[in-house]
Amino acid sequence: MDQQQFYDRLNDRMLRYGASPLDQTQVVAITASPDYLASYDGQVATLVASNLLGRLSPSVQVGFPDIPIHPRLPWAGRSLVEHALDGMRAADPFGSYGTRQVTAGDFRFHLGPDGHNTVIHGSGWNAYIGPGPSPLSPIESDVGIGAALAVVLGAAHLFRTRFGAMTESFACNAWDWTDVPKRVEFSPVEVSLGHVMTAGLGSVGSAANYFLALATRDFRASLIDHDGIGIHNITRSPIFTDAHAKVDMAKVDAVAAFLRRAGVEDVAVDAVALHESALWSLREAGSTDILISAANEFNVRYHIEMGFPPIQFYATTGRNWQATLMRHVPGAKACSLCVFPPDEKYAPTTCATDGSTASQTTVEEKRTDAALPFLSFAAGLMTAAEVLKLNAPGYPFSAERVMLGLKGQPLLIGTPIPHRTGCLCEGRDKSVHIAAVAGSRYVVFVGQAEVGR
């Protein structure tokens, strides 16, 4: 495959979205304030920036000095610069990635609270982009979520404006998903999450696992997806590479290999659709603590809801440059079928593994498989952030649906998810559902009133 054929496939989903790739001749230079670069938040920002920008542009230069990777991150002690470059080159073997000083004509993507006239800065759960210096107060605890969110916001601005000046400022937080920064010291780093099952390891599911692993490796992972990796998947996932696409590697195997290298010890895979998965259908009651439901084929929401799921999270990307986070708690008012109803209604007594329903199309499945890289990163990050907050006292902190809009000046909106009249969940026995998740780590949330009702 020659270079042009590679880029045609690489940018296929971006073009389907109605967007065009960035100018290949415009160099993006990643720089960072020295103190910020040495911190946990700063290195999360650096890792995410090199990963995302290397998938957005084939012309990225590292302009920050080399230091060892932070001891609380995966790959601790390794060269930060080498890791960043290796990741970019693995995603795009034809790109121009290297290290040098910033020169005239570069678009400078500067990480940190100061050091340039515009900054991309995250501190704790808070994120800021705009003219420097950053107004965010320093957070002592290691968090990383705000830092990653700031990078996503900065990348969206770069792409939307085509390297335009960042003249307007925007600050927000990933704690209660509002545009008012919050001083919260809770750190998800090294927090034990329990058993996290992910159904669907495409762009959002793989990104969610990537961001979880940046914070903690103390969880058991079960990965379910039937699909292989193509070149068109590379730009929208922080994990998939050209080497994966060349051998059509199963998505579950690529994500599992990433998690194991990052330090997650217990990883199980099932390279089938959810309705065919023994990991899902044969799991013991209460054995799965969290479901990241990032699949959208084979009437998957029906099979999830008929399988009495634990607390579940997922995020979708939309045609109007938005990423939308969803949370569903067992016993609460709305299930995922309330949001994505099937085209045909099924009786509650229908077997969840009946193949006759597996091929039915859902409203969600009709969406074109097209998204922009930073939207997929945003959706995965939002999903991971909610999972990482589960152990914080007082959770949840936001409405069960949160939309992040990135088409213009960023926008965060939280709304409740209403129950859909006639949904399958109306006939589902709540006591059976509660019994099915009894013993799970987050059963304390079952049946509690949701924020934002």
Domain ranges of the chain: 12-173, 194-445
pLDDT of residue 333: 81
* Domain 194-445 in the same topology as domain 12-173: yes
pTM over 0.75: yes
C-alpha to C-alpha distance for 27 and 35, rounded to whole angstroms: 25
C-alpha to C-alpha distance for 150 and 313, rounded to whole angstroms: 22
Asked if 260 and 239 touch (Cβ cutoff 8 Å), the reply is no
C-alpha to C-alpha distance for 248 and 93, rounded to whole angstroms: 17
**Count of beta carbons in the 10 Å neighbourhood of residue 66:** 13
pLDDT of residue 361: 43
428 contacts: CB under 8 Å, gap ≥ 6? 305, 308, 335, 348
235: tokens are 């730009």
17 contacts: CB under 8 Å, gap ≥ 6? 319, 368, 370, 371, 372
**Phi, psi for residue 452 in degrees, rounded to 5:** 90, 10
C-alpha to C-alpha distance for 117 and 114, rounded to whole angstroms: 8
pLDDT of residue 344: 52
User: Which residues of the chain register pLDDT less than 50?
Assistant: 345-366, 449-453
Residue found under tokens 């590292």: 62
C-alpha to C-alpha distance for 324 and 435, rounded to whole angstroms: 30
C-alpha to C-alpha distance for 137 and 121, rounded to whole angstroms: 11
Q: Enter the CATH code of domain 194-445.
A: 3.40.50.720
pLDDT of residue 200: 98
ω into 396 cis (within 30 of 0): yes
User: What digits encode the pLDDT tens for the residues 222-240?
Assistant: 999 999 999 999 999 999 9
C-alpha to C-alpha distance for 400 and 310, rounded to whole angstroms: 15
**Could you tell me which CATH class the domain 12-173 is placed in?**
alpha beta
